[in-house]
Amino acid sequence: QARGDGRGRVVAYDDVLRVRMRERAELENAIRNGLAAGEFVLHYQALVDLSTGAVTGYEALARWERHGHGMVPPSGFIPVAEQSTLICDLGRWCLRTAAVQAATWLRERPAGAPELRVAVNISGRHLSTPEIVPDVEHALAVAGLPARLLVLEITETVLVDRPSARAQMTALRDLGVDISIDDFGTGYTSIGQLQHLPASKLKIDRSLIASTAPGSRELVALVVHAAHAFGMTVVAEGVETTEQLATVRELGCDRVQGFLLARPAPADQLVVVAPR
């Protein structure tokens, strides 16, 4: 009888796995078709300089207007896309679309207005392929965007997981684009490692900015201090309250990004609140 139960469980577990695999394959297909059908869009969220209050640029964030499903956030497609080379197709699309948008901002900016940069998130998988460098070059060429106006955001965890990533980052930096370490404080990169990275920007993760645990404030101060010593610009992510804004300013962060100042929005609907 015990054996019967055991078998029952094995069968049930098998079924669950089968269903999961089928669902994943279906989602993968839907993403591929959605990309071909133009269902993906980019929203843009402002990065604001704390000393001047000026917008320095925007981060491009992917959204999927999935037919019959409404707006799907990145958590609904990035993890699945990352399981295959689909993430590279999506990455190429993001690079091209964002570069074209930034070239438009450049062309259409009012006389005397500063040049805006665009930041694109690059997945670790895409970064590890030999295609990443030609993909970035191609996006810049197609858009006619100067390399200095493109920022590539690479999450901290990628550096730990993929040793080849560092060489690729250097090759990208040599194209003239900026590299920004994203979500810093969520992985296990030591502050000392930052010194050896070809990155000019560091984004401190929202979880660390929001943390009220004892020592969090000191940790942010330490990260800012070290990053500055390495010549990096520091961005505080996910600033939602005026208290957080005051804190990150006090701790020496150079730029902020967060709902308090601006929510991600389509390029024709960008609104930014001046920081006080």
CA distances from 130 to 136, 156, 221 (A): 11, 20, 37
E strands in 122-258: 150-155, 178-184, 201-204, 233-236, 255-256
Tell me which stretch binds ligand C2E (CB under 6 A): 49-57, 106-114, 221-229, 234-242: 234-242
Q: Which does 240 bind (CB under 5 to 8 A by kind): ligand C2E, Mg ion, none?
A: ligand C2E
259 binds, among ligand C2E, Mg ion, none (CB under 5 to 8 A by kind): ligand C2E
| C-alpha distance across the termini of the chain, in Å | 71
DSSP state of 199: -
| DSSP code string of 69-93 | TEEEPGGGTHHHHTTSTHHHHHHHH
How many residues make contact with Mg ion (CB under 5 A)?
5
Residue 233: contacted member of ligand C2E, Mg ion, none (CB under 5 to 8 Å, by partner type): none
- By the rule CB under 6 A, 153 interacts with ligand C2E: yes
Which residue's Cβ has the minimum distance to Mg ion? 153
Q: Does residue 264 belong to the site contacting ligand C2E (CB under 6 A)? A: yes
Q: Name 150's Cβ contacts closer than 8 Å, sequence gap at least 6.
A: 98, 99, 102, 117, 118, 120, 136, 139, 140, 177, 178
Q: How far is the CB of 161 from ligand C2E (least distance, A)?
A: 14
Site residues (CB under 6 A) for ligand C2E, limited to 4-43: none
Q: Which of 153, 156, 178, 254 touches Mg ion (CB under 5 A)?
A: 153
Candidates 49-57, 90-98, 181-189, 217-225 — which segment interacts with Mg ion by CB under 5 A?
181-189
Q: Measured from the CB of residue 121, what is the shortest distance to Mg ion in angstroms? A: 5
Question: Element (H or E) spanning 189, and its range?
Answer: none
Q: By CB under 6 A, tell whether 240 contacts ligand C2E.
A: yes
121 lies in the site for Mg ion, by CB under 5 A: yes
Q: What is the DSSP string of 97-119?
A: HHHHHHHHHHHHPPTTPPPPEEE
Pick the piece of the chain touching Mg ion (CB under 5 A) from 141-149, 174-182, 215-223, 258-266: 174-182
Q: What is the DSSP letter of 228?
A: H
Tokens 């920081």 found at = 275
Per CB under 5 A, residues contacting Mg ion are 121, 153, 182-183, 237
